[in-house]
Amino acid sequence: MINEEKLKEFAKLVRCFSLASTTMAGSGHPTSSLSAADLMTCLLFGGTFRFNVDQPGHLNNDRLIFSKGHASPLFYALWAAAGKVPEEELMTLRKFGSPLEGHPTTAFPYTEVSTGSLGQGLPAGVGIALNARYIDKLPYRTYVLLGDSEMAEGSQWEALQIAAHYRLDNLIGILDVNRMGQRGETMYGHDMSAYENRISSFGWETIVIDGHSFHEIQTAYEKALHVKERPVMIIAKTLKGKGISFIEDKPGWHGKALNRDELGKALEELGEIDRTIKGEISKPENIKPENQSPKEINEPSYDDKPVATRKAYGNALKRIFPAFPDIVVLDAEVSNSTYSAIFKDEYPERFFEMYIAEQNMAGMAIGLSSRGKIPFVSTFAAFLTRACDQIRMSRYSDANIKFCGSHAGVSIGEDGASQMGLEDIAMFRTILDSAVLYPSDAVSTEKLVEEMAKHKGISYIRTTRQETPVIYDNEDKFTIGGSKTLRSSKDDVITVIAAGITLHEALGAYDALKKDNIYIRVIDLYSIKPIDEETLKSAAESAKAIITVEDHYYEGGIGEAVRSAVAGERIAVHSLAVRKMPRSGKPAELLDYEEISKNAIISKVRSLR
């Protein structure tokens, strides 16, 4: 163990940095930083943590996640004490343009994943630990600093279950039980047995300590290294604002910086501080993972037999994996419905069952992405809405995740409203720089899954429950940002824009109207975002009106996307979308009921002629 007196000097330094930087910023969370200062000082500089400070991306580095991201002043102070953040840069905390943001983001090179929305760090840590144990098979450990308030989040308990299920003995949680939340005492205060009993019941090894005893902290870290086949949670009793008497364990100080006079008093209490000391962090091993080289793959192969796009999704994952060997597939206990089971049967070592815990699944995907993997995450479209916050946060971690929502829309039929994804397009469209895809047949699904694997960033593909005709050739090309004009002539009076299940309704309407010499242009808007503005504007120039048809709520869906794309054009856009309370019934009945069927399109076209 490292000399305790030396560690105490580092702890004073990081406390000083945390206080000074927040005072300079005029905001922040110094008291939350002070409660965990001893825990983190012992971790980084006590000989346990292994990290090459000059290579933050080193594959064998231990990983550190501040799930309690509001303690970012401490996070930055630690790296300042390690000599990687100059003190003058530390004083740019929370200033515009500084990488030292109010909560950690990947703009700061030592941040693994962006945090701050509570309950996010542990799921990401589980993903990183899973990668080390089962995929890269590297010896690094993942440490996650947790706040006691965030243990009320359900995502934490989802993560606790999965971590124990996969026996992640390379995952170590550090729970900072300082008892004070934002508005008062936390649910269990300083009842350490409440945390120990609950966490241990989930299959974790628990170690309860005084979070300000350097001996107990170091002993706990040493013990954690020797636990086998189960994750470890160090449950530390701490005091918010520890080290400064007038804020220590006092209410009303959450998220409040000291003014300059108060800072002066606090620094006096800390005593003499050696700003020249530099903390040494142990170096990691240098083991290389076994990487697979990409291989050539064949085109998809479909005949005229109808195939559900959800099944084509599973076929595509199996087909493209040799070309994208970094793919990892996660599913929330519906792989026999999303058809990711096709991949599982072929590559079981790259498939991980997440059970019905969608928040944790999305969080783990963030962690896997941070380690260079390409997670494909699938469940019913309706259930992805549970993980909206994790999906939102994934963008702030610059994650490269592919989401698949199956069983979308009222067309799923008798299962009823609770199972119908009708908000998913809107949700994913709001994610900055996301791609939102909605294929209509097996070929377009396969080609778009392959494009998703090539694409860097967050992308979403919406698949359909029922079988649909194959309308494209196996050699057809599809691009993110593209569309397909399937029917057009010089006599077109109306342009109908659809995607997925409603495209087939539009094609049926075309055939019926053609018999009466009424011609419509039919566009497959398989890429809802980014959208093919050029094609849509061209259609707007030559048509009397545009009709959009979608098996999704009106708000945030295809209609609004098209309306935005042609906003500068003088054309009316009419949207057929789900506007009534969904109910159980046959798919055809429900499409008619919601007025998004072939019959509804025909009626609307006739009314606009």
Q: Is 294 exposed, middle or buried (0-12, 13-18, 19+ CB in 10 A)?
A: exposed
Nearest to 151 by CA among 128, 174, 127: 174
Q: Catalytic pick from 158, 216, 358, 560? A: 358
Which pair of tokens denotes residue 268?
Answer: 């006096």
Give CA–CA dist 242/500, Å, rounded: 58
| Cross-strand partners of 570 | none
Give CA–CA dist 86/81, Å, rounded: 9
Find the helix or strand (DSSP H, E) in which 144 lies.
strand 142-147
At 180, is the secondary structure helix, strand, or coil? strand
Give CA–CA dist 589/461, Å, rounded: 25
Residue 26 main-chain phi, psi, to 5 deg: 80, 10
Q: Are 365 and 128 contacting, i.e. CB atoms less than 8 angstroms apart? A: no
For 241-261, give one letter per residue: b (16+ CB within 10 A) or e.
bbbbeebbbeeebbeebbeee
358 is catalytic: yes
End-to-end CA distance of the chain: 83
Radius of gyration of the chain (CA): 27
* Inter-CA distances, 313 with 258, 279, 299, 490, 594, Å: 55, 50, 14, 36, 27
Which pair of tokens denotes residue 489?
Answer: 């002539």
Find the helix or strand (DSSP H, E) in which 438 lies.
none
Nearest to 565 by CA among 592, 532, 598: 532
Nearest to 364 by CA among 330, 341, 339, 397: 330
169 CB neighbour count, 10 Å cutoff: 20
Nearest to 607 by CA among 527, 553, 544, 552: 544
For 518-550, give one letter per residue: b (16+ CB within 10 A) or e.
bbbbbbbbbbbbbbbeebbebbbeebebbbbbb
- Supply the residues annotated as catalytic: 358
